[in-house]
Amino acid sequence: MNAAMVAENFGEACPASAPFFGYMGAAAALIFANLGAAYGTAKSGVGICSMGVMHPGLIMKSIIPVVMAGVIGIYGFIIAVVVGTKIKEPVGGGSQAVTPQYTLFSAFGHLGSGLTGGLSGLAAGMAIGIVGDAGVRATAQQPKLFVGMILILIFAEALGLYGLIVALIMSSSGGGSCPSA
Amino acid sequence: MSSTDFYSYACPAGAPFFGYFGAASAMALANLGAAYGTAKAGAGISGMGVTRPDLVMKALIPVVMAGVVGIYGLIIAVIISTKIRAPVLVSGSYKPQYTIFGGAAHMASGLAGGFSGLAAGIAIGIVGDIGTRALGQQPKLFVGMILILIFAEALGLYGLIVALIFSASPIGSCPE
């Protein structure tokens, strides 16, 4: 804009601000999935600790909701790494012309991908937490409830998996390449 | 505004704002999570310690794990802030050294690590509080409580790993 002598090939298709949207998508995937996983871990952990006072033998079986909540965090981690490694920096600089490598189309795709996976993980984690809390407390009083609780937790986990699948599909849609001078 | 500075679309003067925002948010948010974890678990330990003072040392583990979450934020903040280069003054004009791509990457790195630390700290606090209180009544709960706390700590670790991956991505160089 001022005294820079080399050309810059930013344009409408590949503005300099495109990486913001892509990286915000990647960060959002991890942030929201981790918030959901933390809610699931905390809420079901409260149920396990409360139940474990009177039924210490059931503690190890009851850790399953906590493990499933942790898997939600891994879903967010996967999306964040997959999206984040697709964001390429501009080439050039110094005495060479600066040419971007990252289209705005790809950036919006990655933003949508991250929000999808992250918020789905948040939803799944909250469901796992509430079901895990009530489920482990009830299983302590009625052991026949164990299989039913696991079935419900699997359905809740599937929501996070849907988010992961859609996020991976959205992040792999090609965005084309940037025009160079 | 000097018209001889070498700022450009690739390297605007505002780029370090985003980078430092990422570094600051990593530290601040992770510390908020660690503080919540320390406080909530500490309240539980204090409540339990009245009737079972012999279990207090074992029950300090949630507080240590919450502190580790704060260290994760420290690591991310230091690594990001050492990658943000100041413009150099060359015969009266400023040549920027930090790209806007770097600003975006480092802001995402800091936010991802910071919010993950916040989530992990809150989970450690809630589980530590109820866990230590229940531990006072049933010592067999110790292994179960530690297992749940490890899963909560892992969330902060995911944030640290992703933050290090983002902050290590190449950010390009500035045109001259």
What is the reported pLDDT for A94? 82
What is the reported pLDDT for B2? 56
Q: Does domain A18-86+102-171 have CATH number 1.20.120.610?
A: yes
3-state secondary structure B56-89: HHHHCHHHHHHHHHHHHHHHHHHHHHCCCCCCEE
What ranges do the domains of chain B cover? 29-82+98-167
Verify whether the Cβ–Cβ distance B170 to A89 is below 8 Å: yes
> Any CB–CB contact under 8 A between A17 and chain B?
yes
Percent of chain A with pLDDT over 70: 97
Using DSSP's 3-state secondary structure scheme, residue A147 falls into helix
Gap between the Cα atoms of B127 and A122, Å rounded: 19
Per-residue pLDDT averaged across A114-136, rounded?
98
Q: What kind of architecture, by CATH, is found in domain B29-82+98-167?
A: Up-down Bundle (1.20)
Q: Report the Cα A172 to chain-centroid distance in Å.
A: 15
Gap between the Cα atoms of B64 and B146, Å rounded: 12
- Kindly report the backbone phi and psi dihedral angles of residue A93, in degrees, each rounded to the nearest multiple of 5, phi listed first: 95, 175
Mutate to test the interface with A, among B9, B107, B133, B143 (most CBs of A within 10 A): B9
Mean pLDDT, chain A, rounded, equals 94
Q: Using DSSP bridges, classify how beta strands B88-90 and B93-95 pair: parallel, antiparallel or unpaired.
A: antiparallel
Verify whether the Cβ–Cβ distance A23 to B108 is below 8 Å: yes
Per-residue pLDDT averaged across A9-20, rounded?
92
> Would you say A168 and A79 are in contact if contact means Cβ atoms under 8 Å apart?
yes
Among the partner-chain residues A20, A35, A80, the one whose CB lies closest to the CB of B104 is: A20
User: Tell me, what amino acid is at B172?
Assistant: G
> Any CB–CB contact under 8 A between A2 and chain B?
yes
pLDDT of residue A69 exceeding 90:
yes
Mutate to test the interface with B, among A6, A34, A43 (most CBs of B within 10 A): A34
Gap between the Cα atoms of A48 and B176, Å rounded: 61
Give the count of beta carbons closer than 10 Å to the beta carbon of residue B54.
Answer: 8
Per-residue pLDDT averaged across A40-46, rounded?
97
Among the partner-chain residues A67, A84, A89, the one whose CB lies closest to the CB of B151 is: A67
What is the reported pLDDT for A3? 63
pLDDT of residue A59 exceeding 70:
yes
* Nearest residue in chain B measured CA to CA from A66: B148
Q: Which of A78, A100, A133 is nearest to A20 (CA)?
A: A100
- Which of the pair, A9 or A112, is modelled with greater confidence? A112
All residue ranges of chain B with pLDDT < 70 are 1-2
pLDDT of residue A2 exceeding 70:
no
Distant-in-sequence, close-in-space partners of B64: CB < 8 Å, separation ≥ 6:
none
User: Tell me, what amino acid is at A17?
Assistant: S
* Cβ contacts from A onto B, under 8 A: 214
Residues of B in contact with A67 (CB under 8 A): 151
Verify whether the Cβ–Cβ distance B107 to A23 is below 8 Å: yes
Verify whether the Cβ–Cβ distance A34 to B158 is below 8 Å: yes
Q: How far is A5 from chain B (nearest CA, A)?
A: 6
> Would you say B105 and B167 are in contact if contact means Cβ atoms under 8 Å apart?
yes
Verify whether the Cβ–Cβ distance A66 to B7 is below 8 Å: no
Q: Using DSSP bridges, classify how beta strands A91-93 and A96-99 pair: parallel, antiparallel or unpaired.
A: antiparallel
What ranges do the domains of chain A cover? 18-86+102-171
pLDDT of residue A66 exceeding 90:
yes
Verify whether the Cβ–Cβ distance A89 to B145 is below 8 Å: no
Q: Which of B112, B139, B9, B127 is nearest to B66 (CA)?
A: B127
> pLDDT band at residue A6, thresholds of 50, 70 and 90?
confident
Percent of chain A with pLDDT over 90: 84
Verify whether the Cβ–Cβ distance B111 to A50 is below 8 Å: no
Verify whether the Cβ–Cβ distance B172 to A54 is below 8 Å: no
Gap between the Cα atoms of B174 and A161, Å rounded: 41
pLDDT of residue A1 exceeding 60:
no
The secondary structure of residue A3, as a DSSP letter, is S
